[in-house]
Homo-oligomer: A and B are copies of this chain.
Amino acid sequence: MQPAERRYVLTLSCPDRPGIVAAVSTFLATFDGWIVEASHHADAAVGQFFMRQEVRASTVPFDLTELRGQFSELAAQYDMTWAIHDTAAPPRTVFLCSKQDHCVVDLLHRWRTGDLPCELVAVVSNHEDMRSFVDWHGVPYHHLPVPAGSIDDKRPAFDRLRDLLRDLEADTIVLARYMQILPPDLCDAWPNRVLNIHHSFLPSFAGGKPYHRAFERGVKLVGATCHYVTAELDAGPIIEQDVVRVNHADAIDDMVRRGRDVERRVLAEGVRLHLERRVLVHGNKTVVFH
């Protein structure tokens, strides 16, 4: 859970070699920076090192700009890809939804009760249905219809969506059963910052109608997958997955009902992990520091 206490979150990855932990922790120790939580991972297969550190902001004797400046010298020595985020400036986040509202209702509740550390700047939908519900939460609602038809037919709508997201200065975009396939340029504009929930245990049943196909195949579990969106459909880095048991007595509608529970849970967990800067992407895989 994101703490009330203000923290700086350092995330980095670099080629693995001895001395990285010593260098970073010595850097923090020089000014008595208090590490509240620390996680490392060395991926032997690719020779890459990953790290996440949470430091009490009150123990850092200078401001964020100075902290970044000082760290950048160290980072250069080790060829690090890195970031330092301030929990006092949580990601500007937009939820996109459609008519099936179980995921967005769940996310709104978690946001309202403090489980999702973000600044929720808007909910965008291709339908009007959820306006008054979102209004109740005090969150701006944007109705942006997307026509049926081909990619070309939808192009103007997606251009408006991209402009809207830019105007909102969105950092993180959550597709909460949005039911539209984003065009590649939109995915590319927010790399590893657009999260989707797919209603199957990927890579099984990528694409449309996964519950129908699960029913046809006679599987005994159905699942859900939270992943970053990339230009290739349902093929981006996986953040979180889970499954629920079904049996022969479950018709497709029952699978859909049982699946809703796991979709909600998996998306919420994936979004929380992302917002807390616990997900590092390398190639098409994620390191998730729970």
Interchain CB contact under 8 A, A109 and B113: no
CB-nearest residue of chain B to A201: B201
Q: Which of B28, B106, B221, B251 contacts A44 (CB 8 A)?
A: B251
Write the nearest CB–CB distance from A208 to chain B, whole angstroms.
16
- For residue A127, CB closer than 8 A to chain B, the reply is no
CB-nearest residue of chain B to A284: B218
Residues of B within 8 A of A217 (CB): 202-203, 238, 284-285
Within 8 A of B (CB), among A257-290: 257, 261, 265, 284-288, 290
- For residue A45, CB closer than 8 A to chain B, the reply is yes
- For residue A155, CB closer than 8 A to chain B, the reply is no
Interchain CB contact under 8 A, B218 and A285: yes
- For residue A169, CB closer than 8 A to chain B, the reply is no
Residues of B within 8 A of A44 (CB): 251
- For residue A83, CB closer than 8 A to chain B, the reply is no
A25-B21, A26-B22, A257-B1 known; A220 and B203 CB under 8 Å?
Answer: no
Query: 25 pairs across A/B with beta carbons < 8 Å?
Result: A1-B251, A18-B59, A19-B29, A21-B21, A21-B25, A22-B28, A23-B29, A25-B25, A26-B26, A36-B42, A41-B248, A44-B251, A102-B109, A106-B106, A115-B257, A201-B201, A202-B217, A202-B219, A203-B205, A217-B284, A218-B237, A218-B284, A220-B238, A248-B285, A265-B265
Known: A19-B32, A41-B249. 18 other contacts (CB 8 A): A1-B253, A18-B28, A18-B59, A21-B21, A21-B38, A36-B42, A101-B113, A102-B109, A105-B109, A201-B201, A201-B204, A202-B219, A203-B217, A221-B241, A221-B242, A247-B290, A248-B287, A261-B265
